[in-house]
């Protein structure tokens, strides 16, 4: 695999994932201490959302950087199609 230099968003993504990791450990403790299933489900949902947001941020940032690098010097007519792809990808 090619290693790419870190993007500007990477430190924030790492911070979010570390927070989610700590939160997940708390959820495990909640299960082990037999906390209410509703409380556990709510906390699992929060962990899941945090990880999904980190993934989304990583992918969108990667697309933005890679598409920008890949389209340098490309015919402006073709670049419009790539810019449209980048714009629609925000809705994923």
Q: Distance between CA atoms of 65 and 61, rounded to whole angstroms?
A: 6
What is the pTM (predicted TM-score) of this model? 0.75
Question: Which residue bears the tokens 């945090």?
Answer: 50
55-77 pLDDT tens trace = 999 988 888 887 777 777 788 87
Look over the chain and give the mean of its residue pLDDT values, rounded to a whole number.
88
> Is the separation of the CB atoms in 77 and 47 below 8 Å?
no
**Is pLDDT larger for residue 81 or for residue 3?**
81
For residue 13, is pLDDT > 70? yes
pLDDT confidence of residue 54? 94
DSSP for 50-68 reads HHHHHHHHHHHHHHHHHHH
Listed in order, strand segments (DSSP E) in the chain are: none
Tell me, what's the pLDDT at 50?
94
């Amino acid at each position: 695999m090619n290693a790419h230099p870190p993007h500007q968003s990477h430190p924030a993504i790492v911070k979010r994932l570390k927070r989610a990791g700590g939160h997940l450990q708390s959820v495990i403790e909640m299960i082990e201490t037999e906390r209410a299933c509703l409380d556990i489900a709510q906390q699992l949902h929060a962990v899941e959302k945090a990880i999904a947001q980190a993934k989304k941020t990583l992918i969108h940032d990667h697309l933005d950087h890679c598409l920008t690098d890949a389209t340098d010097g490309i015919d402006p007519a073709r670049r419009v199609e790539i810019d449209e792809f980048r714009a629609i990808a925000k809705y994923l």
